[in-house]
Amino acid sequence: MIETLRARLDRGVGRVAGPRGAVAFWLFYAVFFVALYLALSRTLSFDDAVSAELMQGRLAAAYQVRNPPLYEWLLFLVTAILGDGAPAHAVLRYGLIALFGCATYLGALRTSGSAVVAWGVSISLVAFSWLLFDLHHATTHSLPILSLGVFAFVLVCDQIERPTVWRAALLGLVIGFGLVAKWSFALYVAGLVLALASDRDGRRLLFDVRTLATIAFAVLPLLPVIVWLAGPGRDFIDMAQHNLARSNAPWAERVAEGLVRLAIGASTFVLSWLMFMAVVGLPARRPTPDRPAPRAAIAARLALRTTVGALILAAVGVVVIGATHTDYRYMYPLFLVAPPAMAGFLAPRVDHRRFAQGVLAIAPFVFLGAAIARTYLLLDPADFMRRFAYEELVDELRVRGLVPATVIALDRRDAGNLLGLLPESQVRAAGRAGPAGTAEQPCLVVAGSDRGASPRPPEAIAADLRRLLGEAATPEAIETIAIDQDPVWGPPRRVHWHLVSGAAAASACRAEEREVGDEDG
């Protein structure tokens, strides 16, 4: 029986272990999870809703100081084709995840020299805890850097081997767009430069005159963002200091906390994946390692040193500025080429086909676990991602004649979800500046209370409305409507919304703008 299973796995590896198999898997992955999400929920996650509300259907040089605008630029392009709403967000999110999987194949192929090992390492990404959970809903701006970081690495390896001006320019654009995706991408770039400086072949590239083209083209995507940041009230340094060191504790305490958080975050970020690689790699190990090809050895050495260098630089940053904001979800820039580095480590030490057989035997169960977990979250009674009664609310507002209007939502997630359902209205979060209500489009304030495992009582909602509207938020001005919702799973439920309209809501539409941005992205 075991021999029969091995024979079937061997035939399976022969059919799928290669570039076509990697691309086919990641296309299937993206289509499956897009379909699952659209079938069960269509409610935008908090991060997706914030991006939608920030973008407001317009293309701009930038939208907030905290995060650069590449994700919103991509969202603008996708919504121009698919329209506002859940399908556009799902296609963009899972398209970027699939692109990361395919990019990892290319990076692993460069470090291992083996299409079979590269395929196995690409598929192994499903074992990362953040790909099992976080990337499905809780990340936006970090998504583009996943593939951009690997593409930059591949271009650097090619540039070391065959330097050209055109490839140098393309590398610069990739780096520039990485920085326009997430400021912390600079940490990865610094790690890559450190790795090049520590390598004889890499130093030759650093001091090549064509590297000037890389620097010049890296600046190009940043220019509109830099001009925007130069505007009044946009203090990048203050934002960075506030978000990196979120504590007034003494420097020594902050350094200790930051280093502990960094160690825990880095360990948990890769733990599940390392366990998967051990399970499939140890049974396939060779008694005596092979000597890797020089081309693959250089790339593998560079990937490993880039990862180690980025980790060291992160630790140095913690010590220098006392940063404490070093949790699990900020580890993406540090481990962008860890999978290619692992491919370079494994290729001379494992039997390639046996390694791929192990991946083929175990990865489907990991994928199934991810699908079950995702399904549970989309049906979760705590409303983490379950479909919420936004469509029913919009229908009720139209029946009552309250829209079109300038709609102010107390909750950013409500604002982002309502934006795509009310194209005839202006929708924004409380505190965001915009056109005030008019006779044609009066002001309407919307607050929900029934999302989550512990719904907020009406008294708490009323207190929030009073903070926003002042004395105008009298009990008589707050209208509560009840909407019956039939969920995809579970018993029917009644959802309550609280509205303030007319003159009582007018002050909300005249509010001064404050930055409303993705907390982490």
SS3 363: helix
Sign of CA dihedral 27, 30, 31, 32: positive
Asked if the model's pLDDT at residue 167 lies above 70, the reply is yes
Distance of alpha carbon 259 from alpha carbon 315, whole angstroms? 7
- Domain extent listing, the chain: 21-149+231-379, 390-510
Distance of alpha carbon 448 from alpha carbon 245, whole angstroms? 33
**Bridge partners, residue 448, by sequence:** 497
Distance of alpha carbon 220 from alpha carbon 382, whole angstroms? 45
385 by Cβ neighbours in 10 Å (0-12 / 13-18 / 19+) ranks as buried
* pLDDT interval class at 98 (50, 70, 90): very high
H or E element, residue 443: strand 443-448
- Higher-confidence position of 6 and 489: 489
In the structure encoding, which two tokens stand for residue 498, read together?
Answer: 């609280």
Task: Kindly report the average pLDDT of the chain as a whole number.
Answer: 86
Distance of alpha carbon 54 from alpha carbon 44, whole angstroms? 14
- What does the pLDDT look like over 423-463, one tens digit per residue? 888 898 887 765 555 545 788 888 886 665 556 676 777 77
Mean pLDDT is lowest, of 79-88, 131-140, 141-150, 484-493, for 484-493
Mean pLDDT is lowest, of 129-138, 218-227, 277-286, for 129-138
In the structure encoding, which two tokens stand for residue 484, read together?
Answer: 């019956």
Predicted pLDDT at 124? 96
Selection from 27-41, 319-333, 504-518 with the highest mean pLDDT = 27-41
* pLDDT interval class at 208 (50, 70, 90): very high
* pLDDT interval class at 491 (50, 70, 90): confident
* pLDDT interval class at 494 (50, 70, 90): confident
Predicted model pTM: 0.92
Helices 338-346 and 294-321 cross at an angle (nearest 10°) of 140
The arithmetic mean of pLDDT across residues 67-78, rounded, is: 95
Predicted pLDDT at 512? 44
Asked if the model's pLDDT at residue 416 lies above 80, the reply is yes
How many percent of the chain have pLDDT more than 70? 88
